[in-house]
Amino acid sequence: MSDVILRAININKSFAGVHALTDVNLTIRKGEVRCLIGENGCGKSTLIKVISGVYTPDSGELEVAGHKFGKLQPDQAMSMGIQVIYQDFSIFPNLTVADNIAMNTFRVQKKKLINWRTIRRKAQEALDHLDVKIDLDVKAEALSVADKQIVAICRAIIQDAKLIIMDEPTTALTKKEVSSLLDIIRQLKEEGISVIFVTHKLEEVIGVTDTVTILRNGVCVVDGEETSNFDANKLAFYMTGHEIVDEKFVPEITNGKELLRIEKLSLKDGFNDITLTVNSGDVLGVTGLLGSGRTELAQCLFGQFPATSGEIFIEGKPVKIRSVKDAIRNGIGYVPEDRLTEGLFLKKSIASNIFVSVIEKFRKALVFSDNRSLKATADRWVKELLIKTPDSENIITTLSGGNQQRVVLAKWLARNPKILILNGPTVGVDIGSKLEIHKVLRKLANQGIAIIIISDDIPEVLTNCNKVVIMKMGRIVGEMDSKVVKHEQLAGMLA
């Protein structure tokens, strides 16, 4: 009997004449953990949706468990053991853990009556199977990101999954939670369940997967080769088509003037007694695990949560930042970690998302109705930040994640900020876009802006920051020069 779980054969898919997939082939065997990687816009999501029946390929066919399909429906895919865990996990926040785990089974089986005792039994069996403990009666909205992910995996398991596709499963997890997830993937492999693991984090690829498929511009450039044949640099080369070099940031401005100083700043239930200084030309890295207080510090400086005590100085003068308006008025810009829910208007154009932060300037100058001036402002930043779009009037959702992040950056740069805070500036961004964003930040620092990068990505911090502070349990526990600190030393302090 063949051990092939899935075979995609010469898959082609286009949208409005643009080729998303061109003659893509993919074979997944029982118990195989396949990494699917590529830059944003390379066709990964399209391929996942073809495999799961959401999209019908223009040509080519799928073979699942020996059956061939030119057109596969989502319910067919699920009934044949193909399960997809998307980044949002498709969890119902108002339902309990038990309901979320077991409900799909009843829906696929088209049962009209629900046996609640059976739901609880099946849900508990799934949790026991993974040796995890989560209260069945807790509503999903109260769960951590890691627990929501486990619920999604349990839901797949009780539907007799043969192949689980995980789309960026580690984006919002702590290092400890990532380690636990990778252990679960290894367990699934031992049980003969196949996994397609989609990620931008190349170090995870090497740690957990057996084989790798790399897409570039809709074409498969590496097809199922053993992961052991690759290192991070080689993977990046195949993803982008060129060598990746990320040199350490060396500030061009030395002894820059003080732009931001905070003294004994505290936020109730957030952080305590934070004192630090950022000068013109600095890129300060603030690192720490989730819950360390790093994000709360960024939000406090941007006025989302006013400090409960302590002082803030801008260019040596004491200021009160009680609101976002106060922060903007004092020359502070903030790029949030979750660009989709906090940084962008998803139903608006690229141009609208860029000039929204400066629109009052046009109003005051009595050119509010001059759409050409507004568009010219947007187009300038599209060009300067190399945002890949044929027209700034296109809707923001037509852009890849890396380009969306640059739009959020452009929104604040249009205001000429003195201080720019970036929370997880390259989360969910491919390696090519990541390096382009880093280049932009270094250029801005060398132009005199004070940059603060909030990140737990150690290579990102060490490569792009000239100063680093480490936070743990709401306090600064270390300050160092990135030129002298080693990766292992910093990782040890974060543990």
d(CA 432, CA 281): 24
Per CATH, domain 4-240 is 3.40.50.300: yes
DSSP class of residue 340 equals: I
- Give the tens place of pLDDT for each residue, 42-63: 899 899 999 999 999 999 999 9
End-to-end CA distance of the chain: 47
Q: Is the pLDDT of residue 437 over 60?
A: yes
Superfamily of domain 258-494: P-loop containing nucleotide triphosphate hydrolases (3.40.50.300)
Sheet of strand 18-29, all strands in order from the earlier edge strand to the far edge? 18-29, 4-15, 59-64, 67-69
DSSP for 160-203, please give it. T-SEEEEESTTTT--HHHHHHHHHHHHHHHHTT-EEEEE-S-HH
Angle made by CA atoms 65, 228, 242, in degrees to the nearest 5: 100
DSSP for 73-128, please give it. -HHHHHHTTEEEE-TTTT--TTSBHHHHHHHHHHHHTT-SS--HHHHHHHHHHHHH
d(CA 129, CA 31): 17
- Give the tens place of pLDDT for each residue, 444-493: 999 999 999 999 888 889 999 999 999 999 999 999 888 888 878 887 77
Q: Is the pLDDT of residue 397 over 50?
A: yes
- Give the tens place of pLDDT for each residue, 219-264: 999 999 999 999 888 998 999 888 877 678 989 998 899 999 999 9
Residue 388: its pLDDT value, please?
Answer: 85
Question: Which residue type does 128 have?
Answer: D
Closest to 278 (Cα-Cα) out of 338, 329, 339, 331? 331
Q: Please give the share of the chain, as a percent, with pLDDT higher than 70.
A: 94
* Same-fold call for 4-240 versus 258-494: yes
- Give the tens place of pLDDT for each residue, 259-302: 999 999 999 999 999 999 999 999 999 998 878 999 999 999 99
The residue ranges of every structural domain in the chain are 4-240, 258-494
